[in-house]
Amino acid sequence: MKVAVYWNLHKHCFSEQSREKENYGKVIAHKDSVAVALPKFVVRQAGRKKVLKEKSKNVHAFVVGYLLSDQESVVTESAGILITYNPYKNKGFVIADTKEQLEEALLVTLRINQNKPIIEAHL
């Protein structure tokens, strides 16, 4: 199932939004961890500009890809690369260490650590 995943500031978890025709845009789940195959990192620039202008966050950045079910195991040979997004500093998602912008990956895992969202990409 194709989904868009974003960090929900109010519920402090990840929201999964359907990208399937019949439920497009509908939030279908809230989770503490999510695995997405063939993700694309999407930032709607109009939403980002609104954040910069109003200094108030809104939902405009997503990880879009294919949801791996809870039963599907995610096996990786190495730790993922930490990914971050800050609308005040970057136009899109970036590799935390190098600040290199990232558009897509093979797999991404999203989880919570100490009440903060952690995004790891496997290239």
pLDDT tens-digit series, residues 63-85: 999 999 765 556 555 678 999 99
What percent of the chain is modeled with pLDDT above 90?
A: 89
**Interacting residues of 52 by C-beta distance below 8 A, sequence separation 6+:** 87, 88
Distance, CA of 30 to CA of 24 (rounded, Å): 16
Average pLDDT of the residues of the chain: 93
**Section 53-72 average pLDDT:** 89
Determine the pLDDT at residue 73.
56
Quote the pLDDT of residue 33. 93
Q: Is the pTM of this model over 0.95?
A: no
**What's the structural domain count of the chain?**
1
Domain that holds residue 108: 2-122
